[in-house]
Amino acid sequence: MSNSYVALRKNRERLSRRRKHIRKRVFGTAERPRLLMFSSNKHIYVQVVNDVVGKTLAGCSTLTPAVKDKLKDAKGNIGRAKIVGESIVELLKALNVTTICFDRNGKKYHGHVKALADAVRSGGMVF
């Protein structure tokens, strides 16, 4: 085993611990669903989940056709996160949802995670 493999394993373990720590407190209901964010190296995915019944209410990502057209003007991950945040707000308004709880999925609150949260807040959602 090389040192890089050990470092990757430790990073994954830390992320897993942070995810569990956050999910202990963050729980989505019908009145206040959970906004779950996941980001891979290439794409950003967002879902709105009601954890009481275990149902996904809405979802959006950088692969969604409506969003994909807007991404041509975006610069970097922060610009892409803002566009995804604005599009999920439109879906939430169609569902008459005004308050949500934000699940950053163990990621640190800076960069594209913060940009997504700010775009959702500026769209009128309350955390």
Pick left, alpha or beta for residue 49 (phi over 0 → left; psi -120 to 50 → alpha; otherwise beta). beta
Neighbours of 102 (CB within 10 A): 19
Mean pLDDT of 54-72: 94
- What letter represents residue 33's amino acid? P
The predicted pLDDT at position 65 comes to 94
Q: Are 119 and 89 in contact (CB under 8 A)?
A: yes
DSSP state, residue 126: B
Can you list the domains of the chain with their CATH numbers? 3-122 (3.30.420.100)
pTM of the model: 0.89
Which burial class, exposed, middle or buried, applies to 119 when counting CB atoms under 10 A from its CB (0-12, 13-18, 19+)? Answer: buried
Sign of CA dihedral 113, 89, 83, 53: positive
Q: What is the pLDDT of residues 105-118, one digit of tens each?
A: 999 999 999 999 99
**Mean pLDDT value of segment 36-47:** 95
